[in-house]
A and B are shown apart, each in its own frame.
Chain A
Amino acid sequence: MAEPIPPIVQLTDVRKAFGSVEVLKGISMEVDAGNVVCIIGPSGSGKSTVLRCINGLVSINSGSIRVDTHQVETLRTEKMLVPLRHDVSMVFQQYNLFPHKTVLENVLMAPIQVLKRNPDEVRSLAESLLAKVQLADRGDAYPGQLSGGQQQRVAIVRALAMEPKVMLFDEVTAALDPEMVKEVLGVIRDLANEGMTCILVTHEMRFAEEIADRVYFTDGGIIVEHAPPKQLFHNPEDPRLRAFLDKVL
């Protein structure tokens, strides 16, 4: 019999406090390779912090985080974090592009400067990725010249150019106009269909229901309930989740 494949991302009793405010009060979750996991919950419930902990942007106080072969809480220096950042890419609510670099440079910089990859190889990868999100002709534009939806697609391409194993999406449509939300969600949907492991923090409940293999509901720094989307959205158990869904659906 084949060994069961361990989950690619595993959080065990993760705790994090900013000053005296405890934001994460023991978060445990597992994400299997190729799965899409959505984290939903009210503002300030620690959703974004979970993502930032997974790629080491935020260090945790206790518990453990494993991503593939990386034991995140043991990575103390920036040099040690580089291999993790290679495997885990993040897309942000505010795009977080480099304003003084062109679209193509934004995509090329990190693979060349951080991963020391061959510039020619990265360039052809970047060009094919940009073509995939219908931005092949905007390589020379600056982020400030693009619409929000275009900027967010560039940010997704920039994250993909690291050739990650896991993609983190932090409310990536929250700052977008409604008509631009669709184009960005479309890109994420394609990624998910291609088998990319994705962890999304989102307020797009319908999208979460459609795309997720599993949905986690956080409130007050703990995971209140997690289940496949059908069950979580249509048959919620916890009263807090029920109240939340009543408000947002």
Chain B
Amino acid sequence: MFGFDFSWLGDPLYQSWFMKGLATTLLLSVVAGILSILIGIVGAAILHFRTPFLAPFTVILIDLFRNTPPLVQLFFFYFMLSDVGFSFTDPLTGASMPVFSGFTCVVLSLCTFNGAIAIEIIRSGISSVPSQTVEGARSLGYTRRQVFLTMELPLALRMTVPLMTNNIVSIIKTSAQASLVAVTDITYYATQAMLETFLNIEVMMVLWLIYVAIATIVSLGARAISRAVRIPGYGLVS
């Protein structure tokens, strides 16, 4: 077809590579995705309550991680952390091993970059909760903590589903840089397949389609979540 050669897709070796790589990519994305939402909630709570010491610290970290390339953060975690002493000597081989594996470093870098964005997303959701809702709760004796947990956070999470979805999709796409620190994700295996088959265009097309498919599934899932948490009569989510 158009002179393209997709016969390599029938090879069980490449099939198993792509399946293994896909599993790693998905695992990276799920772990980093869940952690980034948790970071978003905790960070937004710290900023919301102006927690002494932690709040200014969080502001600095957000600026630091949001305004630097995720790849630089990945290299920082991967190369620097072991250099500054986060390494141990393997008792079996006697080799110096980094405490943080490549996989951990990828998750860390995704969490820092997209976690910082998640904090901002949830914070924007909290600030769009009507002040009347908060006042109503306070007048009924709710403490600030209760208001946060029963009013502000649930409303903020509902209102920010579309933004949070973008952030998760961004995590999935950024996870491709795992291949640069020898984590065997789908991009890593795709480059291996290119080296063996020399069918660069064909392999890249397949890789491309796989990422599109993942992102599409996530978007559809997010739309279902949006619909499930929609508040009847309240113009939050279209």
**Does B140 belong to the interface (CB within 8 Å)?**
yes
Cα distance A98–B155 in the bound complex, in angstroms: 10
Interface stretch (choices B39-47, B101-109, B129-137, B183-191): B129-137
**Does A97 belong to the interface (CB within 8 Å)?**
yes
Q: Which residue of B133, B144, B150, B155 contacts A96 across the interface (Cβ within 8 Å)?
A: B133
- A89 / chain B contacts, CB cutoff of 8 Å: 139-140
Shortest beta-carbon distance, B157 to chain A, in Å?
10
- B158 / chain A contacts, CB cutoff of 8 Å: 100
Cα distance A81–B236 in the bound complex, in angstroms: 32
Residue of A nearest to B229 (CB): A100
- B146 / chain A contacts, CB cutoff of 8 Å: 113-114
Interface stretch (choices A28-36, A121-129, A140-148): A140-148
Q: State which residues 88-118 of A face B: CB under 8 Å.
A: 89-90, 92, 94-100, 109-110, 113-115
**Does B221 belong to the interface (CB within 8 Å)?**
no
User: Knowing A98-B151, A113-B150 touch, does A78 contact B144 (C-beta < 8 A)?
Assistant: yes
Cα distance A143–B231 in the bound complex, in angstroms: 9
**Does B233 belong to the interface (CB within 8 Å)?**
yes
User: A110 touching B140 by the CB < 8 A rule?
Assistant: yes
User: How many residues in A have their beta carbons less than 8 Å from beta carbons of B?
Assistant: 33
| Chain A 155-171 per-residue mask, 1 if CB under 8 angstroms from chain B, else 0 | 10011001000000000
**Does B124 belong to the interface (CB within 8 Å)?**
no
Residue of A nearest to B137 (CB): A98
Q: State which residues 136-174 of B face A: CB under 8 Å.
A: 136-144, 146, 150-151, 154-155, 158
**Does A85 belong to the interface (CB within 8 Å)?**
yes
| Chain B 15-30 per-residue mask, 1 if CB under 8 angstroms from chain A, else 0 | 0000000000000000
Contact residue range for chain B?
Answer: 20 to 34
Cα distance A144–B158 in the bound complex, in angstroms: 15
Q: State which residues 34-88 of A face B: CB under 8 Å.
A: 55, 57, 78-79, 81-82, 85-86
**Does B52 belong to the interface (CB within 8 Å)?**
no
Q: Which residue of A81, A95, A100, A110 contacts B231 across the interface (Cβ within 8 Å)?
A: A100
Q: Which residue of A55, A85, A99, A144 contacts B155 across the interface (Cβ within 8 Å)?
A: A99
User: Knowing A92-B132, A144-B233, A145-B233 touch, does A110 contact B142 (C-beta < 8 A)?
Assistant: yes
**Does B4 belong to the interface (CB within 8 Å)?**
no
Give the number of residue pairs across the A-B interface with Cβ within 8 Å.
80
User: A82 touching B132 by the CB < 8 A rule?
Assistant: no
Shortest beta-carbon distance, B203 to chain A, in Å?
47
Cα distance A78–B145 in the bound complex, in angstroms: 10
User: Knowing A98-B133, A113-B150 touch, does A162 contact B234 (C-beta < 8 A)?
Assistant: no
**Does B12 belong to the interface (CB within 8 Å)?**
no
Cα distance A100–B136 in the bound complex, in angstroms: 13
User: B139 touching A90 by the CB < 8 A rule?
Assistant: yes
- A115 / chain B contacts, CB cutoff of 8 Å: 141
**Does B3 belong to the interface (CB within 8 Å)?**
no
User: A110 touching B232 by the CB < 8 A rule?
Assistant: no
Cα distance A52–B235 in the bound complex, in angstroms: 29
Ordered by A's residue number, 23 sampled pairs between the chains whose C-beta atoms are within 8 Å are: A57-B139, A82-B141, A85-B140, A86-B141, A89-B140, A92-B135, A95-B136, A96-B133, A97-B133, A99-B130, A99-B133, A99-B231, A100-B155, A109-B150, A114-B140, A114-B142, A141-B232, A142-B232, A143-B233, A144-B231, A144-B232, A144-B235, A162-B141
Extra A-B contacts (12), CB below 8 Å, given A82-B141, A100-B155, A115-B141 = A85-B141, A92-B135, A96-B133, A96-B139, A97-B133, A99-B130, A110-B142, A113-B150, A141-B233, A142-B234, A144-B231, A145-B232
> Chain A: residues with CB nearer than 8 A to chain B?
55, 57, 78-79, 81-82, 85-86, 89-90, 92, 94-100, 109-110, 113-115, 141-146, 155, 158-159, 162
> Chain B: residues with CB nearer than 8 A to chain A?
130, 132-133, 135-144, 146, 150-151, 154-155, 158, 231-236
